[in-house]
A and B are shown apart, each in its own frame.
Chain A
């Protein structure tokens, strides 16, 4: 349905995405995991045809067999919302504080489907019920500030669903929410994707929510997809040194707190910081922080290999 082939995005400061290839079929649930600066949000904007103007792009993006690489705004507009919709991290800033949330959700319905005011209001109530908002008609008349964070995010999900998109991209949808509410929202997204046969791309730095809700996962670092595969496989048996480091850095609530000398156990860390765009190595992006680094890693561009498309020449990719 959506096919991304060797997409590269370059800014004046350096290259932000390198040769990203992805395929998303109807009903797929794909997680994209990475930390700040890994390029995951930029990748999402590219899928929506909203790459920043300052970027130079190469590669091809095909949606439903149509090449969208050079498509203009006119070609994109009907596709956005109806084929590909997106929700963002901060639900408060994505909603107009001066409009009733029902009117906000009704807008695309009236615009794209030409529904009358009453028809749209009826559809909004149905959508609100679908995203488990209690008392939908009453909620529709409320303003964003009258809703809780979780409810606002549900409104935005309803807005994204309004035009029956084939793919929903959720960019850090639960980061601003409480842990319990975050779980409910992630579960709702999975539920909707299953019921509607809608593909879901979940972008997150939260490994737990990706593990819970996706079938496949791609791990990003410094603009590369360093490893990909079945979510359970990758998260339980990570192969790329970065994925390993990332998983090890998560504290385990059940682990022993102290060692034999009674000293508190330190968490395993990845040394150093994510370098700025201009400071990324030409070869492997992870060079300089990697425990398995060889002398040529920083200069030789790694070639993806094995079933996981592993981007590391040092690790032998197993299934």
Chain B
């Protein structure tokens, strides 16, 4: 069952004028990207910086509007919903970022940060915070601690706990394991796989590292300077990349 359907997503950003009265040149961040994600399935998006990966995530999360194209979540067009309607739908799709320290308030306890999405949707906190912490491999008591008391891997677990506390159907992860050490990264990837099976999560997983994407993703989309170079079954692309650029990403992720 298709949970998310993006069609012809295009987003330009205006650049500064090069001549005083000239037109403003445009940067094409993403051009005509279409894809679907079903429940329990993971779409990997790979590309170098500037390839449009994060713009894609922002469009899917409805943080900004596309210049053309649409994103339908569970049949509802996210970008034509009214603000209150969009707000009501937000608990259904959540995001985790690269730097967990930057996305947790250093002066609030972990429990407070975890409760924020619940308060925003007017839900009862109940024992959800403790449950959520346990689910990501931490302890219920950790809710009273502050972010600096945790290691990088543990902080990323907290960010994941916050993302799943609203019981979303879709998780968008933007370079979520890029800042982690190899052994910690493996733990977090396994955690994401566990949660996906447990909760039937659909995932949009953004990374520059082919090896990481290979471990997690069912389908794959390769981006370069805003253009979709190839997309399809992950194993097929990894075993027989059609594009030189995809091949170079694979080489860069090469096994030692």
Judged by a CB distance under 8 angstroms, whether B32 is at the interface is no
Determine whether the beta carbon of B256 is less than 8 Å from that of A235: yes
Q: Which residues of chain A from 180 to 204 have a CB within 8 Å of any chain B CB?
A: 180-183
Q: With A36-B152, A257-B235 given, is the CB distance from A180 to B183 under 8 Å?
A: no
> How long is the Cα–Cα vector from A266 to B185 in the complex, in angstroms?
12
Closest Cβ of chain A: how far from B29's Cβ, in Å?
16
CB contacts (< 8 Å) of A246 on chain B: these are: 182-183
Cβ contacts A199-213/B at 8 Å (1 or 0 each): 000000101101110
Judged by a CB distance under 8 angstroms, whether A264 is at the interface is yes
Closest Cβ of chain A: how far from B221's Cβ, in Å?
16
Determine whether the beta carbon of B249 is less than 8 Å from that of A264: no
Contact among B48, B215, B218, B250 for A251, CB-based, below 8 A? B215
Judged by a CB distance under 8 angstroms, whether A179 is at the interface is yes
Closest Cβ of chain A: how far from B202's Cβ, in Å?
14
Binds B, one of A73-81, A163-171, A269-277, A293-301: A269-277
Nearest residue (CB) in A for B189 is A267
Determine whether the beta carbon of A264 is less than 8 Å from that of B256: no
> How long is the Cα–Cα vector from A181 to B210 in the complex, in angstroms?
15
Closest Cβ of chain B: how far from A22's Cβ, in Å?
21
CB contacts (< 8 Å) of B239 on chain A: these are: 254
Determine whether the beta carbon of A253 is less than 8 Å from that of B250: yes
Q: With A251-B211, A273-B151 given, is the CB distance from A264 to B193 under 8 Å?
A: yes
Determine whether the beta carbon of B214 is less than 8 Å from that of A208: no
Determine whether the beta carbon of A35 is less than 8 Å from that of B184: yes
Contact among B182, B212, B248 for A35, CB-based, below 8 A? B182
> How long is the Cα–Cα vector from A37 to B193 in the complex, in angstroms?
27
Judged by a CB distance under 8 angstroms, whether B186 is at the interface is yes
CB contacts (< 8 Å) of B254 on chain A: these are: 208, 212
Judged by a CB distance under 8 angstroms, whether B197 is at the interface is yes
Determine whether the beta carbon of A36 is less than 8 Å from that of B181: yes
Contact among A211, A253, A265, A266 for B238, CB-based, below 8 A? A253
CB contacts (< 8 Å) of A318 on chain B: these are: none
CB contacts (< 8 Å) of A252 on chain B: these are: 211, 214, 255
> How long is the Cα–Cα vector from A36 to B154 in the complex, in angstroms?
14
Closest Cβ of chain A: how far from B171's Cβ, in Å?
15
> How long is the Cα–Cα vector from A247 to B211 in the complex, in angstroms?
13
Contact among A149, A210, A254 for B256, CB-based, below 8 A? A210
Determine whether the beta carbon of B190 is less than 8 Å from that of A179: no
Contact among A36, A208, A266 for B253, CB-based, below 8 A? A208
> How long is the Cα–Cα vector from A176 to B212 in the complex, in angstroms?
17
CB contacts (< 8 Å) of A245 on chain B: these are: 183
Judged by a CB distance under 8 angstroms, whether A122 is at the interface is no
Q: Which residues of chain B from 204 to 256 have a CB within 8 Å of any chain A CB?
A: 208-212, 214-216, 218, 234-235, 238-239, 248-256
Judged by a CB distance under 8 angstroms, whether A142 is at the interface is no
Determine whether the beta carbon of B211 is less than 8 Å from that of A249: no
Q: With A264-B193, A270-B183 given, is the CB distance from A253 to B210 under 8 Å?
A: yes
Contact among A35, A208, A253 for B181, CB-based, below 8 A? A35
CB contacts (< 8 Å) of B80 on chain A: these are: none
CB contacts (< 8 Å) of A255 on chain B: these are: 214
Judged by a CB distance under 8 angstroms, whether A178 is at the interface is yes
Determine whether the beta carbon of A208 is less than 8 Å from that of B184: no
Q: With A35-B183, A266-B193 given, is the CB distance from A182 to B255 under 8 Å?
A: no
With A35-B184, A251-B212 already in contact, 20 other A-B pairs whose C-beta atoms are closer than 8 Å? A36-B152, A179-B209, A179-B249, A183-B251, A205-B181, A210-B256, A212-B256, A245-B183, A249-B185, A250-B182, A250-B255, A251-B186, A251-B211, A251-B214, A253-B211, A253-B238, A263-B197, A267-B215, A269-B187, A269-B190
16 contacts between A and B (CB under 8 A): A35-B184, A36-B152, A36-B181, A178-B49, A178-B208, A245-B183, A246-B182, A250-B186, A250-B255, A252-B255, A253-B255, A254-B214, A257-B218, A267-B190, A269-B186, A270-B186
Q: Write the residues of chain A forming the contact surface with B, with a CB cutoff of 8 angstroms.
A: 35-36, 149, 178-183, 205, 207-208, 210-212, 235, 245-247, 249-255, 257, 263-270, 273-274
Minimum-distance CB pairs A-B, first 7: A211-B256, A179-B252, A251-B215, A249-B186, A35-B181, A253-B214, A178-B48
